[in-house]
Amino acid sequence: MNKRTFTSLRHEVDLWSIAAGGICLLILCPLIAVLSGMGHAAPMWEHLKETVLSDYLLNTLWLTLAVSVLAIFMALPAAWILSQFSFPGQKLFEWAMVLPLAVPTYVAAFVYRQVPEAAIPLLIQIRSRWGVDAFLFAEGFIRKGTLTVLMAAVLYPYLYLSLRTAFMVQRRGVIEAAHILGRSPASVFFSVALPLARPALIAGVSLVIMEVINDYGAVYFMGVPTLTVGIFRTWTGLGDLTSAVRLAGIMVFAVFILLALEQLQRGKAHFSEKESAPAHSNQRKLRPVKATLAFLTCLVPIGLGFLIPFIQLLYWAGLSFAHKGLGQLPWTRMGNSLLLALLTAVLLTALGVILNFAQRLHPVRALKLPIRLAGVGYAIPGAVVAVGVMIFLGKFSLIGSVYAICFGYVVRFLAVGLQPIRAGMERVCGSLDQASRVLGHSPTQTLFKINLPLIRGTLMAVVMLVFVDILKELPMTMILRPVDFDTLATLAFGLAQESRIQECAIPSLMIIFLAGTGLFSLNRLLTPPPSHTP
Amino acid sequence: MQFKQAIYTSLLSLFSLSIWAEAPLIIYSHRHYEADEALYVAFTEETGIPVQVLKAGANELMERLKAEGASSKADLFITSDAGRLGEAKALGLLAPIHSEILSTKVPQAFQDPEGTWFGFSMRARVFVYAPERVDASTLSTYEALADKQWRGRILCRSSNNIYNQSLLASIISADGKKEALSWATDVRKNMARPPQGSDRDQIRAVAAGLGDLAIVNTYYVGLMLNSPDPKDREIAQKVKIFFPNQSGRGTHVNISGGGILATSTQKENAQKFLEFMVSDFVQKSFPLNTFEYPVVRNIAWSDLQKSWGTFKTDPLNLAKLYEYGQQAVLLFNMAGWE
């Protein structure tokens, strides 16, 4: 018996690592296909270095910095207040804070484009009074400020989600101890909660940064040429894909450093994640004045990131109806969007589990490195990943199928599933799965009986996050989809390209509605009722 | 339940695509106009040939065609710029077309000299100006916009945009590279604000008084005059159109056009489609629906286009736009035109 278990164990172990290795290889192939191009002759590289490269880098740098700081200001106070205090509207805000994630950045940009436009009369005043230099400064300030605000407003939820979880988990232990020891709330926040939440802060900020450097629509529209704009310009305008890929290489490099930093932080603060589950019972009630402030602290980010775009889109949709009557709503496109989003969400989550589980079985470098690398697609603009996917799939005549798109999504978004699932397994499973293995269960049995049930919440969260990301995804869908196949995102973008902004509001609203539904359930999952506390 | 139904429906619709009774004509198109859908339907009604379309950016579509290689099922490649058609030809993606109809109906400047692509609609890149601040008699050429009197008054979108790249390509062709660079540098200096937004945004900024003159495509004015948004209609009525270079080479124009893919298995049907696009029926529809100009002579313009007046077009063969297109982007980078 013992001997049989041993052999079957070895056999299955091999299968897991082979599966993981195979998946990594499959995912890395398109990335290699495109990144290996970096070494080719890049005819325009010198020209780029001499002319525009420094602008691209500078713009990317200030934008990521500004958006990150602003996103922290939007997410951190709200996450803290919502996890510690109770006030009117608190229950609603708790989940509504994530709603801006439902708004694609490019849709927010259409709406916020009106701010610099509305400022034109003011700018004309400035020009006539203080001259052209003052005017140019004010123009840049308003435009870049609007861009920063709109991006922070739709991206802060990444930060909010990770911070709130961290604060809630902390609450019962250290924070309460600090309160009992007589610390004021402010002192608790700055000397206890904030240092403890640093890994969550860094994890959230790195997600925000990756979204910022990958954005194309908003920065292009607002006239801030970042590296991503440079990539497209070099590729499409100069016809030099190699130089474009080199620019992407700079981004990958930056993101790698970022991930390494995050890893460093995560390693140091490991203990903080093992605390008990949250409880709502003893949140402090706020007096009216402070409650009003708390209310506003939450309302402002939601207002900027969700309510304003949402209301403007509703108004446009209304105009469109008034002008053209109630046409057919794009149900088929919605079906397509749902199909792709659900299929990818489930597939990607399953792959995330397999890869992380294999790594737990074999904590060896030979697996760790390829798995870490497989997540790098998240740092590369979607269109560039899509080129790699096409080069790779072209060999098998698979381009233009639902499989091709789903595969492309997995290559691009795997990191969204990899990291939370790894963190989830580390946090919850501890040595339980090892115990199960020692007791003679096979890896598969252990996975299904121990790991999966324990991280059910994390898995559902990953499914929802991926679901939302895919609903909003545009460049890869455009390039990889089958002929005569539209999603809500491609439809919205097509209409926007034609400057039919009013009609574009309808599919945009449908995306927001579907993604909002996903986010609502995600938040339910992240906020388990107190009775769940072990 | 409804959720499930939605999935079933989309699965079904996916499935049904693959069992068309007759092999459909597959078009990769960069054109994204609603009115095009009606043209596809009309083509199917007239010929019985079903049409399927993939809409995406021209460069993305070319990357896809390259990757698909010989196994590509696509038959036609359509763009809204001649430069990209030239690029597709240079990549060996297009097959030569031998069509009496196309080569006689489409003006020489709007077709590839080797017959791999043909234009079917035309757009002009013109000046839109605020009549209360600009005396039309002082307007003349693109080149004149480099003059110091325009400092802080010009509006134009980013040079990422293909329409600007083609315009500069035409200037390179007319005046040479050196002149084109100093033109781009000076015009950039004369801009009222850094380049941003769409052609419509430039028109809005002129109407609002931020600048006095914008370089835009004509059909945007038409689209704004017919916008569902009353604000847009009001703005478009405030501005006037001027066709530059009328006493010289003529106004810069570009085309939407298409070519048949070398890998197409239905070249005959694909040719029928291109011929359909230059039929009177389709040519008459452009001025009314997309506010583009027809390429075929003696097709009536819309009243709106007539109100803008007739104009002389730059006779440059648009195949040159590909030749000078990349140089144009290099020059824009050097000129600091974002």
Would the CB atoms of B57 and A236 count as touching at under 8 Å?
Answer: yes
Would the CB atoms of B6 and A113 count as touching at under 8 Å?
Answer: no
At B200 the three-state DSSP class reads helix
Chain centroid to Cα B94, Å, comes to 19
- Report the complex ipTM: 0.81
Give yes or no for a contact between B41 and B274, defined as CB atoms under 8 angstroms apart.
no
Nearest-angstrom CA–CA distance, A109 and A114: 9
- Within 8 A of B205 by CB-CB distance, chain A residues are 117, 120
Nearest-angstrom CA–CA distance, A245 and A37: 7
pLDDT class of B13 with cuts at 50, 70, 90:
low
pLDDT for the residue B147:
95
| Among A99, A94, A98, residue whose Cα is nearest residue A84 | A94
| Among B38, B253, B152, B254, residue whose Cα is nearest residue A131 | B152
Written as one letter, the residue type at B30 is: H
Sign of CA dihedral A242, A244, A250, A251: negative
What is the helix (H) or strand (E) element at residue B213, kind and residue range?
strand B213-217
Across chain A, mean pLDDT equals 83
Give yes or no for a contact between B122 and B231, defined as CB atoms under 8 angstroms apart.
no
| Among B108, B145, B111, residue whose Cα is nearest residue B129 | B145
Min distance A124 CA to chain B CA atoms (Å): 6
Interface of B with A in 176-205 (CB under 8 A): 193-198, 200-201, 204-205
Q: Is the pLDDT of residue B16 over 50?
A: no
pLDDT for the residue B21:
54
Give yes or no for a contact between A486 and A333, defined as CB atoms under 8 angstroms apart.
yes
pLDDT class of B133 with cuts at 50, 70, 90:
very high
B313-331 pLDDT, tens digit each: 999 999 999 999 889 999 9
Strands (E), B45-146: 51-55, 76-79, 94-95, 117-129
Would the CB atoms of B32 and A498 count as touching at under 8 Å?
Answer: yes
Beta bridge partners of B191: B154
Q: What angle do CA A153, A156, A162 make, to 5 degrees?
A: 165
| Among A89, A57, A83, A154, residue whose Cα is nearest residue A472 | A154
Would the CB atoms of B67 and A319 count as touching at under 8 Å?
Answer: no
Among A25-29, A91-95, B273-277, the least confident range: A91-95
Would the CB atoms of A238 and B329 count as touching at under 8 Å?
Answer: yes
pLDDT class of B4 with cuts at 50, 70, 90:
low
Among A279-293, A372-386, B194-208, the least confident range: A279-293
Give yes or no for a contact between B217 and B124, defined as CB atoms under 8 angstroms apart.
yes
Q: What is the DSSP-derived secondary structure letter of residue A89?
A: T
Q: What is the DSSP-derived secondary structure letter of residue A215?
A: -
pLDDT for the residue A218:
87
Provide mean pLDDT across the span B138-167. Answer: 93
Among A222-231, A406-415, B163-172, the least confident range: A222-231
pLDDT for the residue A172:
65
| B3 vs A: CB within 8 A | yes
What domains are defined for chain B?
2-122+255-300 (3.40.190.10), 123-252+314-335 (3.40.190.10)
pLDDT class of B9 with cuts at 50, 70, 90:
low
Provide mean pLDDT across the span A232-248. Answer: 81
Would the CB atoms of B198 and A336 count as touching at under 8 Å?
Answer: no
pLDDT class of A327 with cuts at 50, 70, 90:
low
A57-101 pLDDT, tens digit each: 999 999 999 999 999 999 999 998 998 888 988 888 988 999 999
pLDDT for the residue B316:
94
Q: Pick the residue with more confidence: A207 or B15?
A: A207
Residue A180 tokens read as 């009992």
Provide mean pLDDT across the span A23-45. Answer: 84
| B338 vs A: CB within 8 A | yes
Q: How far is CA B15 from CA A30, A344, B10, B22, in A?
A: 27, 19, 8, 15
Nearest-angstrom CA–CA distance, B295 and B292: 9
Provide mean pLDDT across the span B27-46. Answer: 91
- Within 8 A of B196 by CB-CB distance, chain A residues are 116, 143, 221-223
| B330 vs A: CB within 8 A | yes
CB crowding A261-291: b at 16 or more within 10 Å, else e:
ebeebbeebeebbebeebbeeebeebeeeeb
- Within 8 A of B57 by CB-CB distance, chain A residues are 236, 478
pLDDT class of A276 with cuts at 50, 70, 90:
very low
Min distance A74 CA to chain B CA atoms (Å): 27
Interface test with B, best of A59, A235, A236, A467 (most B CBs within 10 A): A236
| Among A350, A54, A383, residue whose Cα is nearest residue A248 | A383
Q: Pick the residue with more confidence: A218 or B213?
A: B213
| Among B217, B231, B227, residue whose Cα is nearest residue B293 | B217
pLDDT for the residue A2:
46
At B223 the three-state DSSP class reads helix
Would the CB atoms of B228 and A324 count as touching at under 8 Å?
Answer: yes
pLDDT for the residue A31:
86
| B41 vs A: CB within 8 A | no
Nearest-angstrom CA–CA distance, A225 and A216: 9
Residue B168 tokens read as 């500069």
pLDDT class of A319 with cuts at 50, 70, 90:
confident
Residues contacting residue A1 through CB under 8 Å, at least 6 positions apart: none
pLDDT for the residue A446:
85
Among A59-68, A129-138, A238-247, B248-257, the least confident range: A238-247
Can you tell me which residue has the tokens 């070398």?
Answer: B262
* Cβ-based burial of A32 (10 A; exposed 0-12, middle 13-18, buried ≥19): middle
Q: Give the nearest chain B residue to A338 (CA atoms).
A: B7
Q: How far is CA A238 from CA A389, B87, B172, B218, B327, in A?
A: 22, 11, 16, 26, 8
β-pair type (B154-155, A284-285): unpaired
For B326, half-sphere exposure in the C-beta direction (CA atoms, 13 angstrom radius) is: 12
Q: How far is CA B273 from CA B40, B71, B194, in A?
A: 9, 22, 42
* Angle between the N-to-C axes of helices A105-112 and A488-497, in degrees from 0 to 180, rounded to the nearest 10: 30
pLDDT class of B108 with cuts at 50, 70, 90:
very high
| B233 vs A: CB within 8 A | no
Nearest-angstrom CA–CA distance, B94 and B76: 9
Residue A472 tokens read as 């909003």
Residues contacting residue B158 through CB under 8 Å, at least 6 positions apart: A220, A223, A225, B164, B195, B196, B338
- Within 8 A of A220 by CB-CB distance, chain B residues are 158, 160
Nearest-angstrom CA–CA distance, A94 and A527: 9
pLDDT class of A44 with cuts at 50, 70, 90:
confident
For B212, half-sphere exposure in the C-beta direction (CA atoms, 13 angstrom radius) is: 15
At B318 the three-state DSSP class reads coil
| B19 vs A: CB within 8 A | no
Would the CB atoms of B68 and A485 count as touching at under 8 Å?
Answer: no
Provide mean pLDDT across the span B233-262. Answer: 96
Q: What is the DSSP-derived secondary structure letter of residue B109?
A: G
pLDDT for the residue B124:
96
Q: Pick the residue with more confidence: B172 or A251?
A: B172
Can you tell me which residue has the tokens 């950016």?
Answer: B57
Among A168-177, A228-237, A484-493, B270-279, the least confident range: A168-177
pLDDT class of A266 with cuts at 50, 70, 90:
low
Nearest to A334 among B6, B14, B204 (CB): B6
CB crowding A469-492: b at 16 or more within 10 Å, else e:
bbbbbbbbbbbbbbbbbbbbbbbb
pLDDT for the residue B8:
57
Share of chain B above pLDDT 70, in %: 94
In sequence order, which ranges of chain B are alpha helices (DSSP H)? 2-17, 34-47, 58-68, 82-90, 100-105, 162-175, 177-190, 199-208, 218-225, 230-238, 267-277, 280-289, 303-308, 319-335
Min distance A392 CA to chain B CA atoms (Å): 8
β-pair type (B253-261, B154-155): unpaired
Share of chain A above pLDDT 70, in %: 90
| Among B27, B36, B28, B29, residue whose Cα is nearest residue B290 | B36
- Within 8 A of A342 by CB-CB distance, chain B residues are 7
Q: Give the nearest chain A residue to B14 (CA atoms).
A: A485
Nearest to B60 among A124, A237, A478 (CB): A478
Min distance B196 CA to chain A CA atoms (Å): 4
pLDDT class of A423 with cuts at 50, 70, 90:
confident
Nearest-angstrom CA–CA distance, A137 and B16: 57
pLDDT class of A298 with cuts at 50, 70, 90:
very high
Nearest-angstrom CA–CA distance, B39 and B41: 5
* Cβ-based burial of A501 (10 A; exposed 0-12, middle 13-18, buried ≥19): buried
Would the CB atoms of B338 and A336 count as touching at under 8 Å?
Answer: no
Q: Is the pLDDT of residue B28 over 80?
A: yes
What domains are defined for chain A?
40-281 (1.10.3720.10)
Q: How far is CA B38 from CA B33, B35, B43, B44, B281, in A?
A: 10, 5, 9, 10, 12
Q: Is the pLDDT of residue A532 over 50?
A: no
Across chain B, mean pLDDT equals 91
Q: What angle do CA B199, B200, B204 make, to 5 degrees?
A: 120
pLDDT class of A478 with cuts at 50, 70, 90:
confident
Nearest-angstrom CA–CA distance, B81 and B220: 16
Highest mean pLDDT among A265-274, A462-471, B91-100: B91-100
Strands (E), A58-176: 85-86
- Within 8 A of B336 by CB-CB distance, chain A residues are 51
pLDDT for the residue A13:
54
pLDDT for the residue B196:
87
| B268 vs A: CB within 8 A | no
Min distance A454 CA to chain B CA atoms (Å): 28
pLDDT class of B1 with cuts at 50, 70, 90:
very low
Nearest to A497 among B32, B193, B196 (CB): B32
